[in-house]
Amino acid sequence: MADKKAILVITDGMKLTDSGEVMDKLRKKAAILSDADTAGLPDKAVALGGVQSDMANLAATLEKNVLAVTKGKVEAVARKGGRIVARHQIETTGEAVGLKVEPLIKDWKADGKDLQFVRVTAVDSRGRRVWTASDEVNISVEGPARLIAVESGDITSDELPGDSSVRLFHGTAIAILRSGAGSGPVTLQVSSRGIKKGVKSIL
């Protein structure tokens, strides 16, 4: 595995609203300063173990280098002519202490056929998604509905969709329910060792 390094990208012509594979990777792995004075930042970034790259080789650089994860906050401040023109701060989350349960379909029909997708998310003490959580969660349903599958969304995993348990991927998983023929409240309960249970009633 490549050494874990943060990537600092300083550019004059890039629009941060652009889309595409390179921009998607940039948003995940890089700090971007656009239309700002460099003020020796490239040298500082390299001294801290960063990687320099030109636009032609940017996609390959992003592919080979991954971010190191350390606890705390980091803030990037961009200045132009001595004036602050942009500021952005990111902060790591705490440990996963709870499971948030969110039904994604508002109009769920009790016809014995309709599906409901429920997102399960590991959250810290401030309710923030814990992206590093990969715990196994167990899911059960009470009421006029049936749990038909659970899925992590990890396309690189050889784990098949389960019927009641799944390992979180980037802190989240999806449970798929099929409604029963009769109406009534449906309660979904999600549990994982060491994490507070998540319970949600779905009408």
> Within a 13 Å sphere around the CA of 17, how many CA atoms are in the beta-carbon half?
0
Q: Which of 121, 117, 120 is nearest to 104 (CA)?
A: 117
The Cβ of residue 49 has, within 10 Å, a number of other Cβ atoms equal to 11
* Residue 41 Cα distances to 72, 113, 127, angstroms: 21, 58, 34
| Greatest mean pLDDT range, 10-14, 153-157, 164-168, 194-198 | 164-168
Identify the domain boundary among 59, 74, 91: 91
The pTM assigned to this predicted structure is 0.64
Q: Are residue 62 and residue 116 in the same domain, yes or no?
A: no
Whether 70 maps to a domain, the answer reads yes
pLDDT confidence of 4, banded at 50, 70, 90?
Answer: very low
Task: Tally the domains of the chain.
Answer: 2
Identify the domain boundary among 91, 122, 142: 91
* pLDDT above 60 (res 10): no
Strands (DSSP E) along 24-67, which ranges?
A: 30-34
Whether 77 maps to a domain, the answer reads yes
Name 58's Cβ contacts closer than 8 Å, sequence gap at least 6: 9, 22, 26
Identify the domain boundary among 65, 91, 117: 91
* pLDDT above 80 (res 48): no
User: Alpha-carbon distance 31 to 3, whole Å?
Assistant: 18
Q: Which of 143, 149, 150, 148 is nearest to 180 (CA)?
A: 143
Q: Which domain holds residue 177?
A: 98-202
Mean pLDDT of the chain: 78
Q: Are residue 33 and residue 73 in the same domain, yes or no?
A: yes
pLDDT confidence of 193, banded at 50, 70, 90?
Answer: confident
Query: Could you read off the pLDDT of 106-117 as tens digits, one per residue?
Result: 899 999 999 999
Whether 1 maps to a domain, the answer reads no
Whether 2 maps to a domain, the answer reads no
Q: What is the mean pLDDT of residues 21-41?
A: 60
Q: What is the mean pLDDT of residues 59-77?
A: 66
* Residue 6 Cα distances to 9, 12, 61, 173, angstroms: 10, 20, 11, 27
> Within a 13 Å sphere around the CA of 193, how many CA atoms are in the beta-carbon half?
6
Cα-flanking dihedrals φ and ψ of residue 91, to 5°?
-140, 140
Q: What percent of the chain has pLDDT over 70?
A: 67
